[in-house]
């Protein structure tokens, strides 16, 4: 196998009225700082199956990491969806980092895309990480004029 390539695969056997579900993924890390991922899988009941495909790339250079991803969900009996996201992360010090990201959720048949912006900061010392994040969505749930604002604070401890 080629250096820097990882392959994963899974299968979940179906039962009585359910189908067998499969998925696979590829990861390439053969260039310093670059990570490229591709995954595909299916899920759901026979009349409501979802086939999902995700592609992601990130590149780290110095204190900056930039990443982008695209996920498409082709649904049987429901509207297909696509999510595109971008993120820029900056490591301020060994203990502190900040991130900014954007996502667009496109639902087939909807005239409004949900657009989400986020900003976060985290601080790590010893085995403890403190983080604060804020999220703002326009066109929330693909509804024109709908807005949503959220924030989150967290503390994580490693023992």
Give the pLDDT confidence of 122-135 residue by residue, as tens digits.
999 999 999 999 99
Measured between alpha carbons, how far apart are the two ends of the chain, in Å? 37
Q: What is the pLDDT of residue 1?
A: 59
Q: Residues 135, 104: one domain?
A: yes
pLDDT single digits (tens) 82-92: 999 999 999 99
Q: Residues 83, 150: one domain?
A: yes
Q: Residues 46, 97: one domain?
A: no
Which residues constitute the domain of residue 133? 79-159
pLDDT single digits (tens) 25-72: 999 999 999 999 999 999 877 778 899 999 999 999 999 999 999 999
Q: Residues 86, 37: one domain?
A: no
Q: Does some domain include residue 74?
A: no
Q: Does some domain include residue 153?
A: yes
Pick the closest to residue 74 from 37, 110, 41 (CA basis): 41
Centroid of chain to Cα 158: 24
Q: What is the pLDDT of residue 48?
A: 81
Phi, psi angle pair for 46, to nearest 5°: -50, -40
Q: Residues 108, 159: one domain?
A: yes
Q: Residues 158, 111: one domain?
A: yes
Q: Residues 99, 158: one domain?
A: yes
């Amino acid at each position: 196998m080629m250096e820097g390539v990882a392959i994963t695969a899974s299968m979940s056997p179906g039962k009585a009225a359910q189908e067998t579900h499969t998925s696979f993924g590829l990861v390439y890390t053969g260039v310093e700082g670059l990570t490229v991922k591709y995954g595909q899988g299916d899920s759901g009941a026979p009349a409501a199956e979802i086939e999902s495909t995700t592609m992601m790339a990130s590149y780290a250079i110095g204190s900056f990491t930039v990443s982008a991803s695209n996920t498409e969900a082709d649904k049987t009996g429901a509207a297909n969806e696509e999510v595109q996201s971008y993120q820029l992360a900056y490591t301020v010090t060994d203990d502190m980092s900040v991130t900014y990201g954007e996502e667009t959720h496109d639902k087939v048949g909807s005239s409004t895309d949900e657009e989400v912006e986020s900003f976060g900061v985290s601080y790590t010392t010893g085995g403890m990480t403190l983080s604060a994040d804020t999220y703002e969505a326009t066109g929330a749930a693909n509804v024109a004029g709908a807005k949503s604002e959220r924030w989150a604070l967290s503390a994580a401890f490693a023992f």
